[in-house]
A = this chain, B = another copy of it.
Amino acid sequence: MKPVTMADVARKAQVSKSTVSQYLNKRYDYMSEQTKVRVEEAISELGYQPNIVARSLKQKSTKTIGVIVANILHTFSTEVSRAIEDVCHGEDFHTIICNADDDPVKEKRYIEMLRAKQVDGLIVFPTGDNRDLYKKMLDEQYPLVFLDRSVPDIPASSIMLNNEKAIELAVDHFVQKGNERIAIMTTSFIDKVTPRYERVEGYKKALRNRNIEVNEEYIQCVDPEIIPLTLKQMLALSTPPDCIIAGNDFVLKEILRFSKQESLSIPEDLSVIGIDDVPYASFYNPSITTVAQPTFKMGKMAAELLLEKIKKKQVQDDLSEYRFEPTLMVRESVN
């Protein structure tokens, strides 16, 4: 099954390839109505579809961007990706999404693979551990936007949550309700990257502002597998926390699972606030109070910023951080 090419169309329509190309690119300026019709007919009769690979090679643009998410299993990643796709779609760009699984080696492989595929730009949730690679892209003026995280001393534009504020919202809500023994749990700490760090700092600061003493035992950054064990230990403390902030949807899930298994009542035995507004939060029993990130807005901004960089070739030094504000979704999981 030999696919039909532009040459076939040209032959059939009795014109040159150039003319067919002009037609396809809607440059009708100097084209007679007659040839237009002939080309049109030839195309539809042959069922011709242009070969985008060939076009890309010539034009040095694939109209495709790559996005490398840290971990596709997080709700956050999925929602942001959707927003990115929506924006790109509107601009006639395509999106290839890759999942680095929080692994710097995979991240590197994907960045190289996507660049080899000539994507016009990259949105990455950086692991933080490929500093040389990030730098190289920046040096080459390659269109790049970071999302969710920034990397110290790497001056790439990055779209981030106001992480301190997010934690402050949670702490405030707990305090207002009369709770002071507030724990926070996140998944293991990557210090090459900002947000987890910011969340813990934000936590300490929020407590201090309210004259609550910081208890280091209430701060846990652990591997996912040992969340249940860590919870158990924390709740067995002589003065256990009465409420807990789940640093992401994964931690939240583990807390809920643990509570169910141990027959802990939420919020009677333990109040919970999750960062990230998981899809089931509103109809869980009890419904879960969360701090929502404006995922759609963040994805949209990232895509728009990247497309802009791609278009006006010279990447401005708008290397700032774009911070987005979180929202507290008050529901039933706080006593």
Chain A contact residues, CB within 8 Å of chain B: 1, 47, 49-54, 56-57, 62, 72, 78, 82, 85, 94, 96-97, 99, 112-113, 115-118, 136, 140-142, 253, 256-257, 260, 279-280, 282-285, 287
- B97 near A97 (CB under 8 angstroms)? yes
Give 23 CB contacts A-B under 8 Å: A1-B142, A49-B116, A50-B116, A51-B57, A51-B118, A52-B116, A52-B118, A53-B56, A53-B57, A53-B117, A53-B118, A54-B57, A78-B78, A94-B96, A94-B117, A96-B96, A97-B97, A253-B279, A253-B280, A256-B283, A257-B282, A260-B285, A260-B287
* Residues A94 and B113 in contact, CB atoms below 8 Å apart: yes
- Which single residue of chain B is at the shortest CB-CB distance from A64? B117
Number of copies: 2
**In whole angstroms, what is the CA distance A301 to B323 when docked?**
43
Could you tell me the distance in whole angstroms from the C-beta of A153 to the nearest C-beta in chain B? Answer: 21
A50 to B52, CA, bound (A): 19
Least Cβ–Cβ distance between A46 and chain B, in angstroms: 13
Distance of A315 Cα from B85 Cα, bound (Å):
33
Contact B284 A51 (CB under 8 A): no
Which residues of the other chain, B, contact A85 by a CB distance below 8 angstroms? Answer: 99
Inter-subunit contact A115/B49 (CB<8 Å): yes
The smallest C-beta distance from A276 to any residue of chain B, in angstroms, reads: 14
Q: Compute how far the CA of A284 lies from the CA of B285 in the bound complex, rounded to whole angstroms.
A: 7
